[in-house]
């Protein structure tokens, strides 16, 4: 792999000087269709560099299985019903807040 400097314009422009002190290095053998240009942002004495690489071939993203909960009226009613069967004595009878909270999470 050979990395090449691709910025060929000044990135820091002062009253009496213009210098290339910021750069981007890419493998130009692999990415030969690209453009790079200055982005004047006005926030710094350095201009940003914008790089566009064309014709990049990427792998398809891997799909992953996911689980989503259903929040409709029936599932909420079912959840409330199940909560009503839980005993909450160990939560409400505890005087220590941390222990009470841990009991709540355990329940």
Going by pLDDT thresholds of 50, 70 and 90, the confidence category of residue 7 is very high
pLDDT of residue 55: 84
Q: Coil, strand, or helix at residue 102?
A: helix
Q: Using alpha carbons, select from 33, 29, 39 the residue that is nearest to residue 52.
A: 33
Looking at the whole model, is its pTM more than 0.85? Answer: no
pLDDT tens digits for range 26-77 = 998 888 899 999 988 777 788 889 999 998 877 777 888 888 888 899 999 9
pLDDT of residue 26: 93
DSSP 59-85: PPPPP--------SHHHHHHHHHHHHT
Mean pLDDT of 68-90: 88
């Amino acid at each position: 792999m050979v990395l090449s400097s691709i910025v060929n314009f000044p990135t820091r422009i002062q009253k009496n000087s213009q210098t290339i002190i910021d750069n981007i290095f890419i493998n130009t053998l692999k990415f030969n269709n690209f453009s790079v240009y200055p982005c004047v942002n006005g926030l710094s004495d350095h201009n940003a560099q914008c790089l566009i690489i064309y014709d990049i071939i990427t792998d398809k993203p891997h799909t992953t299985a996911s689980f989503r909960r259903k929040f409709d009226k029936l599932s909420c009613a079912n959840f409330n019903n199940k909560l009503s069967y839980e005993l909450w004595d160990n939560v409400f009878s505890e005087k220590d807040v941390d222990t009470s909270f841990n009991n709540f999470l355990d329940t």
